[in-house]
Structure 1
Amino acid sequence: MKALIKEKPEQGLRLADVPEPSIGPGDVLIKVLRTGICGTDLHIRAWDGWAQQAIRTPLVVGHEFVGDVVAIGRDVVDVAVGDRVSGEGHLVCGKCRNCQAGRRHLCRATVGLGVGRDGAFAEYVALPSANVWVHRVPVDLDIAAIFDPFGNAVHTALSFPLVGEDVLITGAGPIGLMAAAVARHAGARHVAITDVSEERLELARKIGVSLALDAKDATIADGQRELGLREGFDVGLEMSGRPEAMRDMIANMTHGGRIAMLGLPAQEFAVDWARVVTSMLTVKGIYGREMFETWYAMSVLLEGGLDLAPVITGRYGYRDFEAAFTDAASGKGGKVILDWTA
């Protein structure tokens, strides 16, 4: 089968012929239809410091996908051949304290699809049936392909109640944009988002945010004044991993405000912890999705009319992966999709 692989410990990816994956008694084999390009995939392609530490070559990359089940192991009972599915890319041990307590998203032994084992940028991918989400309600293929990052957005956005609240999102990348759409749909009063890309801010305006603020030209305090907020933002969603964004967010939260932090910083940075304490702020780290409560919430949100179409800005056949990755790495658009049927 054709697959995108990180063949050697160097920059770049290669489209190559590799063996079709085999499945065990509890696994399913999925014919991949569409995949989404994630920031993780960009790191692997660039072969940066993180990738050099995390990746062992050769490796089939990719973890955002939708496809059809074509074979199941003998012990699989809840997934059938012909089911349309997406995959939870965090494979957990099932034996640690958190797994046994039903908190699988907190497993300390998590292995990432397309990071710690062969992934989904291929014509076929194998997964344990416990990591498969069956789409019981019809969903657009492009949207189904990005259920993994959509889950990150939903997990972050719904960490705290949003109805009637003023929400600040720092970082208008694809997940920040999806989180903005979720916050609007969930009943936030104001949704403000910051970024340094005018193209991404324009996407945020299409989604319907109250304010899209260019962080090169204005501060969050400026945004507060423009929205007429007197006491600060109630909920903050930090999506950028940028030190200055986190610091500015903390400085503009109301007393008792709550921050969910998904953006992953490149290195340690200082935070005004005195302000966190004296303003009685809550800061919660987010990694991945709750299995599978977040997935249920995603499906319900889409059934309820949540529109993610503006977030997808690039579509390519898998053979044009170089152009697709260049588009995704530009920092100017939303999600980029690879079509594995083209």
Structure 2
Amino acid sequence: MNGKMKAVVKHKRGYGAEIQTVDIPKIHDEEVLIKVKATSICGTDVHIYTWDEWSRSRVNPPYVFGHEFSGEIVELGAHVTSVKVGDFVSAETHIVCGVCPQCLTGQYHICKNTKIVGVDTQGCFAEYVALPAKNLWRNPIDMHADIASIQEPMGNAVHTVLSGDVAGKSVAIIGCGPIGLLAIAVAKAVGASTVLAFDVNDYRLDLAKKMGATHAIHSNLLDPIAFVEQLTNGCGVDVVCEMSGHPTAIKQGFKMITNGGRVSILSLPTGTVEVNITEDIVFKGITVQGITGRLMFKTWQQVSNLLASGQVNIKPLITHHFPLGEFAKGFDLMIKGQCGKVVLHP
């Protein structure tokens, strides 16, 4: 398809982004062209927008960013047979090599040569996006485009929560950004007995309650460790899902975990975090997991099944909608923490 489109472009090495008119992407033989119906803002996009230390070392403007979306296939590459024009799709955003030791043993989510859509490649804050057909996930035709656009971050939450046993256990979700909020709903749906949500943002703690948190704790007003000690009769929680990236919160997570428990860390601290390995890991006999991406495509199937079952209601998480041209309003809300998930409409 020839022509021009509107897109949000990270136009310079610095704060912000801008709307530009750019070429509609040309597709290769193994790719498809997708007309974007809805695209949501991720924490990674905020890192890029604000031009923090991580983004300065990783991305190379100018380029179209964004990676969470849903849309309709409008054009197929010459070698594509797995999908067809008109299919309603979302996408796994990790483009993997298929030949490294990890890929060859089925561990595609930790491919050594991963490229991330909208970080290392052109993204989806646009009217159209081109992607490899192998990365697509076909959605139910009746799924709302907004819901379909946030399956990718929901996959992060599912991967984090379900990386160990949860049923009948106490689970602490530290950090109530959108993925933390999704993790609350997932933990409740799969049988956690208690779900504790920790944050310092009242707006997001209110959302945590709507998403099913048993307790929503403001970590600046109540001592998280003391609260857990009292609630669990001094035993600690069974599972900690760390979503905040804040050094203090991370250290609190290791203090509140029970002996033999599991700490799964999805967050990306911007600097070094000091942890007492002897007392808080070794002597406790805990499992510490780094979580990246989604299991391809096991996690996508789990996400799809949870949504279809009705056991996870993610509608309360989507708090704001804007036309693509008003993207800056969405980023401002994300930066201030006064939103759940923000969806943009091209």
Name the TM-score class by shorter chain.
Answer: over 0.9
Q: Is the 8 A contact 2:59 2:119 kept in 1?
A: yes
Map of 1:39 onto structure 2: 43
Looking at structure 1, the residues matched to 179 and 297 of structure 2 have their Cα atoms a distance apart, in angstroms, of 19
The aligned counterpart of 2:299 is 294
Q: Which of residues 101, 109, 114 is equivalent to 1:97?
A: 101
Aligned to 2:333: 327
The letter of the residue matching 2:123 is G
1:228 shift after superposition: 4.4
Q: Report the CA distance between 1:208 and its aligned residue.
A: 1.9
Deviations 1:142-171 (A, max 9, x none): 111111111111110111111100001110
Matched, 1:176 2:175: no
After superposition, residues 1-342 of structure 1 pair within 5 angstroms as: 1-136=5-140, 138-225=142-229, 227-275=231-279, 276-305=281-310, 306-340=312-346
Q: How far apart, CA to CA, are the structure 2 residues paired with 1:327 and 1:65?
A: 19
Contact 1:314/1:327 (CA < 8 Å) preserved in 2? no
Deviation at 1:69, TM superposition (A): 0.4
Q: Secondary structure at the residue paired with 2:72?
A: strand
Instruction: Provide the rounded CA distance (Å) in 1 between the counterparts of 2:260 and 2:205.
Output: 28
Q: Distance in 2 between matches of 1:229 and 1:75?
A: 61
Closer/same/farther in 2, CA of residues 9 and 229 from structure 1, 3 Å limit: same
Deviation at 1:25, TM superposition (A): 1.2
Secondary structure, counterpart of 2:296 in structure 1: coil
Identity %: 43
Aligned-partner Cα distance in 2 for 1:220–1:86: 37
Measure, in 2, the Cα distance between the counterparts of 1:239 and 1:216.
17
Post-superposition CA distance 1:307-335 (Å, at most 9, x none): 00111111111111111111121113211
Shift of 1:220: 2.1
Shift of 1:136: 3.5
What is the rounded CA distance, in whole Å, between the counterparts of 1:143 and 1:64 in structure 2?
11
TM-score, with structure 1 as normaliser: 0.97
Letter in 1 for 2:338: K
Segments of 4+ moved more than 6 angstroms: none
Aligned residue type for 1:310: P
Aligned amino acid, residue 297 of structure 1: Q
Q: Does the 8 Å contact 1:211/1:223 carry over to 2?
A: no
User: 1:18 Cα shift?
Assistant: 0.6
TM-score (norm 2): 0.96
- Asked whether the equivalents of residues 53 and 270 of structure 2 are also in contact (C-alpha less than 8 Å), the reply is no
Displacement after TM superposition at 1:74 (Å): 1.8
Provide structure 2 residue ranges, at least 5 long, that are not aligned to the other structure.
none
Unaligned runs of 5+ in 1: none
Shift of 1:192: 0.2
Q: How far apart are the structure 2 equivalents of 1:137 and 1:158?
A: 27
